[in-house]
Structure 1
Amino acid sequence: MADREQSDVVYGRIVGLDRDAPVDFRTTAPDVSLYDSPVYWALAAYKLWRRSLIEEHGLRFVEHRLLGEDVPFAVPALLHAKKISVVADYDCYYLEGRGDGTNASRQDVDWVDQLEYAAGTLRTVAELVPAGRERDKLMERHFHGEILGMFAAPYLARDEAGRKDMAAAAKVLLDEWTTEPIMAALPPRLRLHCLRHGLVDELTDIIRADTDATLGPAHQDGERVYAAYPYFRDPERAIPDSAYDLTSRVRLAQRVDSYTWEGPVLRITGSARLSELDPAGRGVGVLLRRQGYTYRVPAETADDGIYTLRLDIGHAADGEPLPEGIWTMRIVVTSGELSKEAWLPRPSDGLYDVSPEPRIIDRGEAGPCAAGLFHSAAHQRLNLDIGDTRRLLATSARGTVTRTRLGRVEATVRVTVPGWPTEQGEARLLLISGQKTLTAPTAAEADTNGRISTRATADGVTPGVWELQLRLTAGTFSRDVPVIEASGEPLRLTVPVPLIRKVRSKAARVVRGH
């Protein structure tokens, strides 16, 4: 990659063995941006660096430093690099901690000194990147990774004086370098508020609640969701609600486990919940959308997030039959006044690589029609097809042709159409030769599994080669299905010129000649 693209820096895919990789590179790219890609979140030295870049800018590690000695090297190198590339389709680096726990990143250090050391990195960024969106993106990474990260177990390990010193050192950096976009982008806003306002005791209790895993479910007030940290709406502290607000972080987490037809009812099972909130008390449903129409079908839910949806095609349109067409399917989860929706995905367990077979369904007074499921090609989203336009029912039928001793020609054809209505469905055998199409007298039988058996005679058919098709009709569903032999070849009926006509013709010539 480096030779082909003349890259200054090449990132290789990182594999975390006993810890998560800092960045999961998924796409190989010859030229990426620091500001629109995750590369700046991985500053460690395990990359390929062009030597001329290092020598031109005199880049070196900081000596006699336990933590972050490579950051003053990596930051200016990346900011001066003319091209940065990523190799994501090959495992280039395996990240593993030492078994005895002696990795430098796991050691206790003088965190006040470490915060002052981080100030140098912020100054380097400010010197090389003009103020604005791009600088804010880089600063956000440093505050998140090298500054706020200290305010967890390392902070709690200090005594009261040590915690005050750490908070004071961080406040200097926050006051000097953060902007409103940076503050809005940093997720631990409650910590930021406490640091900026000198609320050291409150900060200690808040961090301890995280460390001890004593937080309860989030508070919900209308459409807003708030973290259940200490001092929420405590009048003596007057910490604003915005410091606790988690609404932007609420995500719809879901999976689809299975889908199948139960007669005219599509049954879907899965799990859906809103992150940060207790799954109990939420509502789950599926939105069906097509050309300006939207219908909501509720699902049965359990407290563990599991749901079962039963979508009756004959009553899904607010009690009426669902009209024909392609319907997109989106899951919607509500909790109080808060609502989130997302596309229904392909089942994740690999057992449903192919959608359930399409079938004929009964829509009551609207009559039978075809229905099926399919996954969109681009994103594998689940869609509902009413009218048999995407996944065809009965693409072929199997048949045989026999002749009786008396010369009578009979054709037997079988096909399976799930959901075939035995009372309303019709099956007719067609004989096709060139522009001619004949309908043969046909007797048909069908069982409850949709297996259709037909038998027809071909008496009186004119000589020639005839192809066989089976015409199936049920409500709005109509299809001419090619008939094939067991070998897969089209089934053809050859009707010869009757021998008796040749004999009579010869006799007539003899009589006329005499």
Structure 2
Amino acid sequence: MPVNVSVIVPVYNPGTYIEECVASLLRQSLPADAYEVIFVDDGSTDDTPALLDALAAEESRVRVIHQENSGWSGKPRNVGIAAARGAYVMFVDNDDHLGDEALERMYGYGVANGADVVVGKMAGRGRSVPVELFRANRPRASVADAPLIDSLTPHKMFRRAFLDEIGLRFPEGRRRLEDHVFVAEAFLRAANVSVIGDYVCYYHIRRADDANAGIQRFEPVGYFNNLREALDVVARYTEPGPVRDGLYRRWLRVEMVERLRGRRFLELPEDYRRTLFEEIRQVVVERFGPGVAAGLPTVHQVIAAFVVAGRLDDVTGFAEWEAGLGLRATPGPIGWREGVLNVDFAAEFTAADVPLVLPGGGGPVSVDGPPAGVANAVALVGADAVERFTAGTVDLLVRERSTGAPYFQPVEVTREIVPVEESGDVRLVLRATAAVDPAAAVGGAPLGAGLWDLYARVRLGGWTKECRIGPGPHQARAATSAAVIAGRVVLPYWTDRHGNLSLDVDKASKRLGLTALTPQDVTVAAGLLRAPLPLHVPGALDVSVRLTSGGRSLDTPGVLSPTADGALLEAALPAAQLAGAVWRTALCPAPGADVPRFLPLPLALRGRAGTVEVVRDSRSGGVGPVARRVRRRLATLLGRTPRRGR
């Protein structure tokens, strides 16, 4: 029977790394009878073949095909296509995995938009993935109007009839870049390509043993011969002109110039560097006209010009200079406003860990040939960065720590050219205010429980760099108060090791500052408990308070209301039910949640006949004001700053 999607997984000795792949495929939200998983075992010699056969015996949606080792992924994928029964086929590598809703979303989006190819948002764990392509959903995209060419891995969904109509299959055998040849032709011949940017569909994982096939060092001669085949595809399906040059530019930038830059180049053995340089030079001279490099940023043009001139020493010297470049994002005020976290920061490039200083004159820059030397090249790209400063961009990304999934947040930017004393040189500073709405930060969806790290991403002068926002003040572990947003407790905090800004969502308890509450802060009158809490709420919020004593528990409704310096908790107390016992208290910020979370409060309620007395809960782990003063005094004498939390 036909199905909606066939997932094709080439397999070769994955060991335990296939486990998360399999689990994610079986977790898919698409109904089990609407998709199939085809594992093509390419002659594995470990226990994987037997394990997959056992899985297929239990799961009707799983099939396994065994074949002799072919040397690379092209043939297993083609075998999978031939066996597929799906309207769409999806390619997954055996050490990667899918988001739980990936197949459902990608298939639905492809059908809705008549797409021949569907590209799902990617996240990389230890591996680079495209970023700009996934800024937003793109229901209709092409190589002429979207950076599709930045995404040439095969981890996409393709309409099976489309592949058959154009006769598209992967090159086979022991070779590299078979995915470039396949995906480039698919992009160029598709009637429509749809891109999902608001949900991570594919997680690209670097194995702890660094055994991923795609990251192994390659033999340059064979690699660039295979790269020429991808360029042949572009030449076959485009006319000479801006579109073809723009596509060629991707290979010149990513596969050639970027391999000759900074630490990436310098860390290679010297003899390998020379061979790599010579092979790149041959391709550049043979295949690219002047319009290809001319469309690149000046820094790329300079390196390309050195390549054409055969000046390996200058490429190496320029790489040594670039290796010292970095990015720093210095935090400013951080605070909540109506449920949105406003994050101010200033970002600028650094050289050898100090602010990068550039010539202040600016002016239009052109690269008519290779600069006279490395110093001239540095001056040229510096002047170009100043000239193009108005086009420089800074973004704030919120990245899930456990998966690496990044999400862009709204940012307002001002640009400042800072003179350096009387030298005539300048610093380029991008000042930004980002708005992180926890209720919509994940492509319109709320932040999930876990830890989220904040990154600045700057694009300027041909450099694209990311860094964490920080360091912040180590003496204050919380960057600002926690907030209760969309039923979750969100705490901005500075990390212990480096003092970088992160968000703790529904994990923190002690660091929320609730232990600072004392019985003197709380009032009980007319059956109503009123307690000020160091929490931000955008408006009145229904909560509940759980009261426990021995084996009994009572939940009583309450409201958190915003105040000038936090929130006021008001909760009804069933005084008659509390009599004769001492009750511990805990706040539930989302009473309607499937699994409600309770935050312990350092208060206990002693019920007496007709009255309720508030006392400190000695089991809450909090300390009283006297103990806090003693601790601070002791820390001062020992030369330490007392810290809360991690």
Q: Judge same fold: TM > 0.5, yes or no.
A: no
> How would you bin the TM-score normalised by the shorter chain?
0.3 to 0.5
TM-score when scaled to structure 2? 0.37
TM-score when scaled to structure 1? 0.44
Could you say which structure has the larger radius of gyration? 1
